[in-house]
Structures are given as structure tokens and as C-alpha cells.
Structure 1
Amino acid sequence: MPTDALLARFVHDLMPLRPLALWAHGSLAGGDYQEGRSDLDLIAVVPGPLTLGTVRGVIRTHRRLRAEPLAAGLHCTYLTPAASTDPGAAHLTWAHGHVMRRPVTPVTRRELHDFGRVLHGDPPAGLLPPVPDGQLHEFVLQDQRDYWRPKVDRARLWRHDVWVDLGLLTFARATVTLREGRLIAKREALAELTALGAPAEVVEDITRRRYGAPAPRGEAWLARRAELTRAYLGPAIDALVTSYG
């Protein structure tokens, strides 16, 4: 399986950085991974502090993988034990072909504790503080209100698959987390969208692209899909925030 081969190569190439742990979260850990369609979302814990030499080592490690199938979708955030406690802190991350800084959010932290996949070293419970329910609730609510709701008003974004998919699926997952205190995978989120009254043809479009053979789409459909998504998602987020804020 190309995914297993890529992960084995990555673990091997990561050894010069002396990782304490390497974990998978997201679809790979949650049982909804679709090879060639899903990203590989990873967290590495390495000894600190992170020096310029560490950054160069991270860049070399990822650049060596460029010829590997699926390597473009392998994203990894690098934590140190001393910097692992703050969910708002930004950490060295390789994603989309370059280095950046990203936080390890309360949602990601809860995923790691609940069903994270250990690829090397210690499990999350030994290195990562647990996520209290209140902290998870506050983050999910804030993410819907302060990040996703303003994005709904930017019409041009919603002609792109990634915004339609992430916007709707994140909303469905947020709804279940706020309502029931649990995290769900993308497949369950699709079923939840139907129950929540999301436009059926948009949900079908996401399902086909993720799990089946996508149908040909023209500009007229992309424009209609954007309108349907925005008309549903704006009021839906407003109602969610009012209910759980």
C-alpha cells in the first residue's frame, strides 16, 4: 500500500531528529482515510529547543520524500515537550511544500487522545495534556463564529471544492461536538449534514468526490453550488452559535 510505504520511509528519515513520538490524526487515525484523496496529518514530538539546524533537518526530510507517491499530502507539525501545553501556540509545520507555523488545536489534541494512531514512540497520553470539555466547546464555537462565519461572506471562495467540503463538514462536526461532546469522522459528518438540512445535491457532490467517481461539472454548477452552500451555511452557523454560545 503506497500510504504504508510512505509512512515507513518518513519514520526512517525522521530518525536524525531523534523524535520522541510520531502520531497520526485526522482521517488516517479516524478510520475514514481514502488513499489518494485524504491528506496524511501527522504530529512529531522532537527534543527541544528547535534550532535553525532542526528547521533545516525538517526541510531536508520532507524534500527527500518529494518523489514518493502521496508525499504532497503529507503534513507534519513539530512539537517539543516544553511547548506542548499551549493549544494557542504556533509550531513548526511542513505543509503544502514549505514550512510554516500552525497551532495544534484542541480538536486535534482531542483526536490524538481519543483515537490517535501511534507511528513511533510514546502515545499522546504521555506527552500531551488532556483537553477539558469546556476548552473543546469554546474552541469549536469560536472557530465557527470567528473563522467560518466571516468566510461565508466571501463569495469567490465557495466556487472551490476545498471550501465547500471543509466548510460544510466542519460545520456538521462542530454541531455534533457541541451537542454531544464527541468528535466524528467525515463520513458520519456527511450523514449529519443530511439530517441538518444541508442542500442534498451539494452533499451528494461531496460524497461522490470523496468516495466515488466525480461527475463532470461546469461553471454553471460551480456557481449554483456556491450559492446553495452559502445560503445554507451562513444561517446555520448563526443558529449554532446562538444555541451554544
Structure 2
Amino acid sequence: MPTDALLDRFLTGLAPLTPVAVWAHGSLAGGDYREGRSDLDLITVLDRPVTARTVWRVAVLHARLRNEPLADRLHCTYLTPDTAPDAERRHLTWAHEQLFERTVTPVTRAELHRFGRVLRGVPPADVLPPVPDGELAAFVVRDQRDFWRREVDRDAHWTQDVWVDLGLLTFARATVTVREGRLISKREALAVLADLGAPDEVVADIRRRRYEDPAPPDGEWVLRRARLTRDYLGPAIDSLVARAG
């Protein structure tokens, strides 16, 4: 299986950096992973501070993997035991075939605690403090209000599959988190969308593309899908934010 082969190569290449732990989150840990479609979302905890030499070694590691199947989908953020508890801190990250820095969000931290998959070393609870329910709910509402609501008004996005899928699935997942304090998978989010009044045609389209292998959509449907998605998502986000106060 290409996923297992890539993870084995990654873990072997990572060994000289003596990681304290390597964890998977997202679909790879949550039971909804689709090979070739889902990302491989990882967190590595290193045993020493990140220096310029560390950055170079991480870059070399990922460069050596670049020709492996699925390597473009492998994303990894690098923490240390000292930096991991700081939820606002930006950490060295490899994603989208480049190095940059980003935070480990409350959603990711909560996923790691609730269903994180330990690939090497100690479990997340040994390194990361728990995420209070209020902090998690506040984050997902803020993400809907400050990012997704703004992006709904940018029409160029919504002719792309990835924006339709993530926009609707992230909204459904945020809604369940706010209402019930739970984290759900993308598969579960598809079922929730129907109950939330999302357009049936669009939900069916996402399901086909995620779990089947349909022909590419034609241009007329792409434009109709974009309109249906934006017409639904804008008011839906506004209502969620208003209810959350």
C-alpha cells in the first residue's frame, strides 16, 4: 500500500532527528482516509530546539521523498516538548511541498487527544495540554466568521472542487462541535449536511467525488454548484455565528 510505504520511508528518514513522538491526525487517524485523495497529516515532536541545521535536515528529508507516491500529500509540523504547549506559537511545517511556519490549531490538538494515531514514541497526552471545550468551540466559530465567511464572497474559489468540499464539510463539522462538543469525520459531516439544509445536489456531488470515481463535472454544473454552495453557505455561517454569540 503506497501510504504505508511512504510512512515507513518518512519514519526511517526521520530517525536521525531522534523524535520523541510522531502522530497522525485528520483523516489518517479518524478512520476516513482515502488513499490518493486524503492528505497525510502528521505531527513530529523533536527532542531538541529547532535550529537552522534542523530546518536544513527536515528540508533534505522531504526532498528525498519527493518522488515517492503520495509524497505531495504528506504534511508534517515539527514541535518540541518545550514549544508544544503554546497554542499561539508557529512551528516549522512541511506542507504543499514547501517549508513555512504555522500554529497547531485547537482542532488539531483536540483530534490528537481524542483519536490521534501514534506512529512512534509517546502519546499526545504526554506532550500536549488538553483543549477545553470552550476554547475549541470559540476557535471553530472564529474560523467560520473570519475566514470562511469572507471567502464565500470571492466567487473565483467556488468553481473549484476543493473549495466546495472543504467549505461545506468544515461548516458541518464546526456546527456539530459548537452544538455538541464533538469532532466528526468528513464522512459524518456529509450526513450532517443533509440535516442542516445544504443543497442535496451538491452534497451528492461531494459524496460521489470522495467515495466513487465519477467523470469530471461539466462547466454548466460547476457554475450551478458554485451558486448553490455560496447561496447556502453565507447565510448558514451567519446563523451559526449569531447563535454562538
TM-score by length of 1: 0.98
Q: Which amino acid letter does the alignment assign opposite residue 125 of structure 1?
A: A
Who is 1:105 aligned against?
105
Q: CA deviation at 1:18?
A: 1.1
Instruction: Write out per-residue CA displacement over residues 47-76 of structure 1, whole angstroms, 9 at most, x where no aligned residue.
Output: 232111000011011111112111110000
Q: Which amino acid letter does the alignment assign opposite residue 33 of structure 2?
A: Y
Q: CA deviation at 1:218?
A: 1.8
Structure-2 separation of matches of 1:124 and 1:82: 14
Structure-2 separation of matches of 1:83 and 1:140: 23
Who is 2:30 aligned against?
30
Moved beyond 3 Å, runs of 4+: none
How many residue pairs get aligned? The number is: 245
Who is 2:176 aligned against?
176
Deviates more, 1:186-195 or 1:87-96: 87-96
Q: CA deviation at 1:222?
A: 1.2
Question: Superposed, which structure 2 residues align to 1:208-223 within 5 Å?
Answer: 208-223=208-223
Instruction: Write out per-residue CA displacement over residues 79-135 of structure 1, whole angstroms, 9 at most, x where no aligned residue.
Output: 111111122221110011110111100000000000000000000000111101111
Structure-1 separation of matches of 2:6 and 2:22: 14
Who is 1:79 aligned against?
79
Unmatched segments (≥5 aa) in structure 1? none
Root mean square deviation, CA, Å: 0.8
Structure-2 separation of matches of 1:121 and 1:4: 18
Instruction: Write out per-residue CA displacement over residues 172-219 of structure 1, whole angstroms, 9 at most, x where no aligned residue.
Output: 000000000000000000000011110111111111111002233122
Who is 1:136 aligned against?
136
Instruction: Write out per-residue CA displacement over residues 207-239 of structure 1, whole angstroms, 9 at most, x where no aligned residue.
Output: 111100223312211111111000000000000
Structure-1 separation of matches of 2:7 and 2:124: 18
Q: Which amino acid letter does the alignment assign opposite residue 117 of structure 1?
A: R
Who is 1:19 aligned against?
19
Aligned partners of 2:42 and 2:76 also within 8 Å: yes
2:228 is aligned with 1:224 = no
Aligned partners of 1:205 and 1:214 also within 8 Å: no
Aligned partners of 2:21 and 2:120 also within 8 Å: yes
SS in 1 for 2:19: coil
Deviates more, 1:81-90 or 1:192-201: 81-90
Aligned partners of 2:85 and 2:127 also within 8 Å: no
SS in 2 for 1:60: helix
Aligned partners of 1:46 and 1:80 also within 8 Å: yes
SS in 1 for 2:198: coil
Unmatched segments (≥5 aa) in structure 2? none
Aligned partners of 1:46 and 1:79 also within 8 Å: yes
Structure-1 separation of matches of 2:174 and 2:115: 18
Structure-2 separation of matches of 1:86 and 1:223: 43
Q: Which amino acid letter does the alignment assign opposite residue 166 of structure 1?
A: L
Structure-1 separation of matches of 2:25 and 2:171: 19
Who is 1:91 aligned against?
91
Aligned partners of 1:23 and 1:42 also within 8 Å: yes
SS in 2 for 1:225: helix
Who is 1:196 aligned against?
196
SS in 1 for 2:82: helix
TM-score by length of 2: 0.98
2:117 is aligned with 1:117 = yes
Percent identical pairs in the alignment equals 67
SS in 2 for 1:81: coil
